[in-house]
Amino acid sequence: RHKFWETQPVGQFKDIGDTSLPEGPIEPPTPLSEVKQEPYNLPNLYEWVTCNINSDEMCTEVYNLLTNNYVEDDENMFRFNYSKEFLRWALHPPGYFKSWHIGVRVKSSKKLVAFITGIPARIRVHNEIVMMAEINFLCVHKKLRSKRLAPVMIKEVTRRVHLENIWQAAYTAGVVLPTPISTCQYWHRSLNPKKLIDVGFSRLGARMTMSRTIKLYKLPESTVTPGFRKMELHDVPAVTRLIRNYLSQFAVAPDFDENDVEHWLLPKEDVVDSYLVESPETHEITDFCSFYTLPSSILGNQNYSTLKAAYSYYNVSTKTPLLQLMNDALIVAKRKDYDVFNALDVMHNESFLKELKFGPGDGKLHYYLYNYRIRQTLKAAELGLVLL
Ligand code: MYA
Ligand code: JJ1
């Protein structure tokens, strides 16, 4: 049933529940000299290209490919619309490899028709810290689907990851593949319910009018937590301590150092927003919340072309109740004109979703590891990892 995935070192469906298999790498590393030195063969009309996202021209090509061909919801009403600035941020973390940003062009026209990326990350799985590639932005142009191009792209990124002496990977997908380490539910909190209903993102509830709905989702003008403010560069050491300590309780989580926190969590306009609570008395940093900006194109609506969505990223509460902290995050997002605030049921998110009027979406997100077996499927709440 999975002609490609059956050949790969990933957990197989037939092995689910077999607790005699050990946790850890499925196959050992091979000597670097035995890693294939040449790229995999593409069908003759196509060629590989290493994409330099720092070049405006290249970044625009990637942006256009994704804008027109990347992930859609199950009814093809919305399509992710990652901004160029977001793509630059997502692909340039500390220690990134430019060889892991891979495109496919048509030889004759040079048109970019496929893309896949990896970035390096230290991920802790239970008690082991594992060097991994996070794989994202796999995309094949709509006109070239179902030609088995994706397996070649996955094999090529795998080869280039191996050349850096890295043997594991983490990735998420909306589709079920062999085999998820965990399955999460998307939740949505309406900030602009009228627009969400007008574009078909949500529906008027039973026995609800538009004005009752608008009232239901109303939020205060300003945040309520004393000492709540935007994160700044000088906060990096304190935020790193706070996050590291918090993430240590989850089964799978990134192992962030100060450089990672500066890259991933320092605010970047229209890309990532981070707020923290500085105790007015002690000036201690006690709480943190963040979200990233990922708009979606609205397909075929007369009145609107984009949905502005915030996605919950990493949140930590030690003093401020998580509920209050996230309510402040909603207030900030509303003030910044986001239409919806999205979150997965990872980490402690379950504890605020219903109370803060999030509703379950029709999408699920499956988490995967490549060449690393875990003994049991994890609950979403055991995951401390958010991929972009
Ligand atoms: S998830 C986002 C994926 N992108 C989209 O959904 C955008 C819209 N869709 C497309 O562009 C295409 O439909 C894609 C497939 C490109 C997804 N992950 O070429 P095909 C398997 C993994 O004929 P196409 C993200 O970016 C499928 O089961 N495999 O199909 C993370 C089948 O294999 P098998 C997938 O539709 C990506 C084969 O591909 C996915 O033209 C992580 C069919 O190929 C998927 N999302 O193209 C990638 N979708 O027969 C894995 C389909 O066995 C990384 N397939 O069932 C693994 C780690 C690598 C590094 C390791 C380092 C050590
Ligand atoms: O956004 C999603 N669903 C929305 C829109 C559904 C439109 C019709 N299919 C949704 N809306 C309901 C909101 C409502 C608000 C008031 C309270 C009740 C709920 O459910 C879904 C997630 O739910 N998104 C997708 O399907 C996009 C793809 C998700 C898989 C992503 C793969 C990621 C790639 C990894 O790198």
Average pLDDT value for residue range 294-298 = 98
* Stretch 200-225: mean pLDDT: 97
Residue-level pLDDT at 106: 98
- Across residues 251-271, what is the average pLDDT? 98
Strand locations in 44-193 (E) = 46-50, 78-80, 101-106, 112-125, 128-140, 168-173, 182-190
- Residue whose C-alpha is closest to residue 55's, from 81, 105, 91, 106: 91
Instruction: Tell me what ipTM this predicted complex has.
Output: 0.99
Residue 19: the pLDDT is 85
For residue 2, report the distance from its CA to the centre of ligand 1, in Å.
11
Report CA(259)–ligand 1 centroid distance (Å). 31
Partners of 369 in beta bridges: 170
pLDDT at 17 > cutoff 90:
no
Q: Is residue 131 within 6 Å of ligand 1 at its C-beta?
A: no
- Give the per-residue pLDDT at 199: 98
Looking at every residue in the chain, the average pLDDT score rounds to 98
What is the structure's pLDDT at 290? 99
* Residue 144 a catalytic site member: no
pLDDT, tens digit, 9 for 90 and up, residues 227-253: 999 999 999 999 999 999 999 999 999
Q: What is the four-CA torsion angle of 191, 197, 202, 203, rounded to 10 degrees?
A: 130
Among 149, 353, 385, 388, the active-site one is 388
Q: Which of 12, 8, 34, 32 is nearest to 21 (CA)?
A: 12
pLDDT category, 186, cuts 50, 70, 90? very high
**Integer Cα distance of 112 and 48 in angstroms:** 10
DSSP state at residue 72: B
pLDDT at 84: 98
Residue 53's pLDDT is what?
95
Place of tokens 């605020």: 352
**What is the arithmetic mean of pLDDT over 255-266?**
98
Site to substitute for ligand 1 among 138, 152, 167, 175, most atoms within 8 A of C-beta: 138
Residue 340 C-alpha to ligand 2 middle, in angstroms? Answer: 11
Q: How far is CA 276 from the centre of its chain?
A: 21
Q: Which residues line ligand 2 (CB under 6 A)?
A: 71, 73-75, 77, 136, 172-174, 186, 188, 190, 201-202, 359, 361-363, 365, 387
Q: What is the model's pTM?
A: 0.98
| Class of residue 258 by CB neighbours under 10 A (exposed 0-12, middle 13-18, buried 19+) | middle
For residue 108, is pLDDT > 90? yes
Give percent of the chain with pLDDT exceeding 70.
100
The predicted model gives 163-169 an average pLDDT of 98
- CB of residue 96 inside a 6 A radius of ligand 1: no
In this prediction, residue 284 carries a pLDDT of 98
Residue 153's nearest CA partner among 130, 176, 137, 172 is 137
Q: How far is CA 365 from CA 21, 90, 97, 173, in A?
A: 25, 19, 26, 6
**Res 201 pLDDT > 90:** yes
Read off the pLDDT of residues 34-46 as tens digits, 9 standing for 90 and up.
999 999 999 999 9
CA–centroid distance, 297 to ligand 2, in Å, is: 13
**Residue among 292, 322, 324, 328 at smallest CA distance from 309:** 292
- Taking residues 346-363, report their average pLDDT: 98
